[in-house]
Amino acid sequence: MNELVSSSASFGVVISLLAFYVGTLLKKKFKLGIFNPLLIAIILTVAFLLVFKIDYENYYASAKYLSWLLTPATVSLAIPLYIEIERLKKNIKAILISIFVGSLVSLLCVLVMSMLFGFNHAQYITFLPKSITTAIGMSVSQELGGIVPITVAAIVVTGILGNMIAETVLKIFKITDPVAKGLAIGTSAHAIGTAKAMEFGETEGAMSSLAIVVAGILTVIGAQIFAMFI
C-alpha cells in the first residue's frame, strides 16, 4: 500500500476528500456538533493510515495539493464581507474593539496556561497563534521559533471546537446580535468557525470573515510582544 500511495500523485487527495464527504453526510444525518466534517475526516484519514500502515510522508506527498487551496479559500472570505460593507461601516468602532479584545484574551490565555504547565519558550510560542487561520499561524510560529506541525494541530483543534460549541456558547450567554455572533466566532475559531457562522446568516459570516483578517494581523503583532514574556 505504501508503494501505491508513493507512486500516486492524487491518492492522498482522494482519501482526504472521501473522508470529508463521509463527515458531511454524517453531519447532515445526525445534525450534531460532534459530527463536524473536518473532525470526522481527520479521524477516518488517521485510521486509514494506521490500518494500512501507510507512512505519513507518503500520504502527504500526494495530499499536499489540498493545502495549496488554503490561502485562496481564506481570501475568498472577503466576498461576504463586501456584501455587508455598509453594516461594517456603521459598526466599525465596536467591531475593531471587539476583535482587539478577543485577540488579546487569546494571547493572555496562552501565556497563563504556559506558566501553569511550565512550557519552555518554544512550546509557548507554538501555541500563541492557535486562534488565527492556519495560513497566518504557520508563518508566525515558524518566524518565532515554534514547532509548526503542533501549531497547525492546535489551530485545527481550536477551530473544530469553536465550530462544535459556538451555537451552545451563544445560547448560554444569550448573544443574539448577528454582528456580535460573527465577531465572536471569527476571532476565536478562525476559518473553521466561520463555516459555522455562515450557517447562521450572511451578516454573521461576513463579520466572522472580517474577524479572521483583523485578528490575524493583531496576533502577528501581539505574538511578537508576548513572545518576550517566557
Amino acid identity, residue 150?
A: I
Q: Are residues 129 and 55 in the same domain?
A: no
Location of C-alpha cell 481570501: 75
Task: Using 70 as the pLDDT threshold, list the residues of the chain that sit under it.
Answer: 1-9
What per-residue confidence (pLDDT) applies to 7?
Answer: 63
Cell of 99: 476583535
What per-residue confidence (pLDDT) applies to 169?
Answer: 93
C-alpha atoms less than 13 angstroms from C-alpha of 51 in its C-beta half-sphere: 6
> Domain range for residue 33?
2-68
C-alpha atoms less than 13 angstroms from C-alpha of 61 in its C-beta half-sphere: 13
Q: Are residues 132 and 57 in the same domain?
A: no
- C-alpha to C-alpha distance for 113 and 140, rounded to whole angstroms: 19
Cβ(148)–Cβ(141) under 8 Å? yes
- C-alpha to C-alpha distance for 176 and 196, rounded to whole angstroms: 15
- C-alpha to C-alpha distance for 159 and 189, rounded to whole angstroms: 4
- C-alpha to C-alpha distance for 77 and 144, rounded to whole angstroms: 27
Give how far Cα 137 sits from Cα of 3, 18, 143, 144, 223, Å.
33, 27, 10, 11, 10
Residue 32 in domain: yes
- C-alpha to C-alpha distance for 180 and 47, rounded to whole angstroms: 38
Q: Are residues 23 and 91 in the same domain?
A: no
Q: Are residues 83 and 55 in the same domain?
A: no
What per-residue confidence (pLDDT) applies to 72?
Answer: 81
Count of domains in the chain? 2
Residue 143 in domain: yes
Single residue among 39, 68, 97 that ends a domain in this structure: 68
Residue 58 in domain: yes
What per-residue confidence (pLDDT) applies to 6?
Answer: 57
Residue 73 in domain: no
Residues 6+ apart with CB under 8 A from 42: 19, 156
Q: Are residues 41 and 89 in the same domain?
A: no
- C-alpha to C-alpha distance for 42 and 61, rounded to whole angstroms: 17
Cell of 74: 481564506
pTM of this structure: 0.83
